[in-house]
Amino acid sequence: APIISIRNLTKTYGNGFKALKGVNLEIEEGEILALLGPNGAGKTTLISIVCGLVNPSGGQVLVGGHDVVKDFRQTRAMIGLVPQELTTDQFETVWNTVTFSRGVHGKKEDPAHIERVLKDLSLWEKRDNMMRELSGGMKRRVMIAKALSYEPRILFLDEPTAGVDVNLRREMWQVVERLRQNGVTIILTTHYIEEAEEIADRVGVINGGELLLVEAKTALMKKL
């Protein structure tokens, strides 16, 4: 069974605006999916509903077989959400920041797991540094480490490379590739077609609240 199943999903905001107009999408475990679309397309709305942060107007979303509205606690625990903004205390160490995130999500302490996560993200040498001492790329990796700290099966990356330079973008792509090898299902949003092409198995093009196509990335490149 797919790890995420989205059926006929609609969202109409209080002001009558139709942000999602019947989205259908199934995502397999271990897959990397890029959601490509311009500002206002509905990407954040879609992610917010899957994470259980916004209620759908119609349709259904199942995560690991559980309904995201009815079984919010179970489904939220399966999902790591990496927002665009850095939300860390500048005067806290990397180790504490990541360890604290695990605690916030109700998981038992597991230093061995935190060590693995920091090593996977090439942050191990920086574990005793304060957040404010890190480069921009390292700070972004700590945001991912915070999400991985509580062992989610699914990772959402909201515009992981928005406003970063070419080198940092390549670094983030490598990070995603390494996470794939650990079997984490990854859904990322992006404005950049090259990014979708480079790192995703499939690309969903979302525009005006509709998912226009979801195909193998090579097929996408031929169409555009």
Contacts of 49 (CB under 8 A, 6+ apart): 9, 11, 20, 55, 56, 61, 68
Residue nearer to ligand ADP on the CB measure, 96 or 122: 96
Residue nearer to ligand ADP on the CB measure, 32 or 144: 144
Residue 99 interacting with ligand ADP (CB under 6 A): no
Neighbours of 99 (CB within 10 A): 22
> What gap in Å lies between CA 70 and CA 83, rounded to an integer?
24
Q: How far is the CB of 207 from ligand ADP (least distance, A)?
A: 9
Residue 90 interacting with ligand ADP (CB under 6 A): no
Residue 44 interacting with ligand ADP (CB under 6 A): yes
Residue 190 interacting with ligand ADP (CB under 6 A): no
Residue 161 interacting with ligand ADP (CB under 6 A): no
> What gap in Å lies between CA 69 and CA 60, rounded to an integer?
9
Q: Give the residue among 148, 197, 145, 141 at the shortest CA–CA distance from 171.
A: 141
Which spans of this chain sit near ligand ADP (rule: CB under 6 A)? 13, 15, 17, 19, 37, 39-45, 87, 89, 92, 97, 100-101, 104, 146
